[in-house]
Amino acid sequence: MPDPIISIQGLDAHYGDFQALYGVDLAVEPGQVVAVIGANGAGKTTLMRSISGLLKNKADAIRWQGRPIGALRADQIAALGIALVPEGRLLFPSLSVEENLIIGGQLGRKGPWNLARIYQLFPILQERRNVPATALSGGQQQMVAIGRALMSNPELLMMDEISLGLAPVVIKSIYEALPDIVGEGLSAIVVEQDIAKALSVSSHVVCLQEGRVSLTGGSGELSRDEISKAYFGV
C-alpha cells in the first residue's frame, strides 16, 4: 500500500462543550477518491472544517505526507495544497465570478488549473464572469465554488455536499465533470448524503454516525445492508 497523502488518527472535535467528533480515523492515498457519508448531523462538515484548519485540532491528529499539521491555521493548510469546496458554496458576494476564481488561485501554487482551464470545464462561467458571484443560479454558483477550489491547484480536494439543493440534471452535469478533475492525479474527499452517488465516484467509503466512524471499506465491497446499518444505526 502506498503511503497516504493525508492520514487522520483519533480526531476529536468540539463546539464549546459539545463534542461533534470522537476518535475519527481516515486515510487517503495519492490519487484516491474517498467518500464520507452519514446522516444529517453525523459530523461530516465538522470533519471537513477540522481538516481545513477552520477548527483547531491536536497537531498530530492530522498528518500530511507524514508531517503533523493538525495545529496549523487555515491559510497554512491551504498553502500545503488542501482545498475545500464548503457546504453551501459560501462564495464571496462582493466579488465577481472571475474574482472569486482568481482569489482561489492567489496562493500561486503551480499546476494544471488556471482561469482558462476552469472556463473550459464550465463554459457558462466565462459568459458570466463579470457578474457578482451570488447573482448566479445555484448550480452555477456550485461550479464557481469548485472552480475556486481548483484554482489553488490542490493535491487534496475536499467537496462537502456539492449536490445539496441542486436540481438532478445540474447534479449530473457537475458530477460528469468530476472524472476530468480527479483525472489530473489529485486525491479527493467527497462528502455526500446520496449513498449511490458517493459509491459511484469513490473507491473507498467512510461512514460517520453521531461523530464516530461506523463503517469503512472499498466502495464496491460493502453491501447495502451494512451501509444502511452504519448510516442509520438500526
Partner 1 sequence: MDWINAIIQGALLGGLYAMFAAGLSLIFGVMRLVNIAHGDLIVLSAYVALTTSVGLGLNPLLALVIVVPVMAGFGYALQRLVLNRTMGDDLLPPLLVTFGLSIIIQNALLMGYSADPQKLQAGPIETASVNLGPITLGVMPVMVFAIAVAVIAGLQWMFYRTALGRAFRATSDRQDIAQLMGLNRAHVFGLAMALSLAVTAIAGVFLGIRTSFDPAAGASRLIFGFEAVIIGGLGNLWGTLWGGIILGVAQTLGAKINPGYQILAGHIVFLLILAVRPRGLFPRMDG
Q: Is residue 70 part of the contact set for partner 1 (CB under 8 A)?
A: no
Site for partner 1 in 154-173 (CB under 8 A): none
Residue whose Cβ sits closest to Mg ion: 45
Q: Is residue 99 part of the contact set for partner 1 (CB under 8 A)?
A: yes
Q: Is residue 226 part of the contact set for Mg ion (CB under 5 A)?
A: no
CA torsion through residues 167, 49, 110, 183, sign: negative
- For the bound state, the minimum distance from the C-beta of residue 98 to Mg ion, rounded and expressed in Å, comes to 28
- As given in the structure block, the three cell numbers for residue 196 are 449511490
- For the bound state, the minimum distance from the C-beta of residue 199 to partner 1, rounded and expressed in Å, comes to 28
Rg (C-alpha) for the chain, rounded Å, is 17
Q: Is residue 75 part of the contact set for partner 1 (CB under 8 A)?
A: yes
**Residue 193 binding: pick among Mg ion, partner 1, ligand ATP, none (C-beta 5-8 Å cut-off by kind):** ligand ATP
The gap from C-alpha 157 to its chain's centroid, in whole angstroms, comes to 5
Site for ligand ATP in 68-127 (CB under 6 A): 87
Q: Is residue 71 part of the contact set for partner 1 (CB under 8 A)?
A: no
- Classify each residue of 153-166 as buried b or exposed e, where b means 16 or more C-beta atoms within 10 Å of its C-beta: bbbbbbbbbbbbeb
Residue of the chain from 39, 71, 107, 215 that contacts partner 1 (CB under 8 A)? 107
Residue of the chain from 19, 106, 120, 200 that contacts partner 1 (CB under 8 A)? 106
Strands 204-209 and 18-28, bridge-based pairing? unpaired
Is 87 exposed, middle or buried (CB count within 10 Å of its CB: 0-12, 13-18, 19+)? middle
3-state class of 131 per DSSP?
coil
Residues shown for the chain: 234
Distance (Å, rounded) from C-alpha 110 to C-alpha 29? 21
Return the number of the residue (65 or 193) whose C-beta is nearest ligand ATP: 193
According to DSSP, residue 208 is labeled E
Site for Mg ion in 35-64 (CB under 5 A): 44-45
Residues of this chain that interact with partner 1 (CB under 8 A) are 52-54, 73-75, 78-79, 83-84, 86, 90, 92-95, 99, 102-104, 106-107, 132, 148, 152
Residues of this chain that interact with ligand ATP (CB under 6 A) are 15, 18, 20, 38, 40-46, 87, 193
